Amino acid sequence: DISPLLKDPVAFRTLIDLLEDHVRASFPKIDIIAGLDSRGFLIGPPLAQRLGIGFVPIRKKGKLPGPTESVSYALEYGKAELEIQSDAVEPGQKVVIVDDLLATGGTMCAACELLKRLKAEILECLVIIELKLLKGSEKLNSIPFYSLLQYD
């Protein structure tokens, strides 16, 4: 739960500072931050603004206007669907995907699939918290992954 971070302006600023430092040190060239519905929407825009780049939302089905790409994926308790606007990124654009938490990895993998369909270059999947016991990062295969905090 990142609610305490969001309530505390100093803690939230520090979080964005840490993420910005990591992205700047790791990727000299980046075009877009993509944020996952819904907490990635809280982290992604301030990070993108700091980096001087755009932000793209990846949302639950039916929430985005215009033509979209869609992918279904399995959850621990059923199925879900994610969408991205068809013109959200251009082929070859360099993207970092952000979210608050990586658990089983299903949502993050679905987001990667959507960006691959749009021919984006995924530089990294970036989260605040990783639940290592659930081994979600293993599902990302060869896509680089980074988490600030890890719990077993």
Catalytically active residues, by annotation: 39, 76
d(CA 20, CA 42): 14
Pairing of strands 145-151, 121-131: parallel
Asked whether 108 and 36 are in contact (CB, 8 A), the reply is yes
Say what the alpha-carbon torsion angle 150, 42, 27, 34 is, to the nearest 10 degrees.
Answer: 110
Burial class, 56, CB count within 10 angstroms (exposed 0-12 / middle 13-18 / buried 19+): buried
Q: Which of 37, 23, 41 is nearest to 123 (CA)?
A: 23
- Angle at which helix 40-51 crosses helix 9-26, to 10 degrees, equals 60
d(CA 44, CA 133): 26
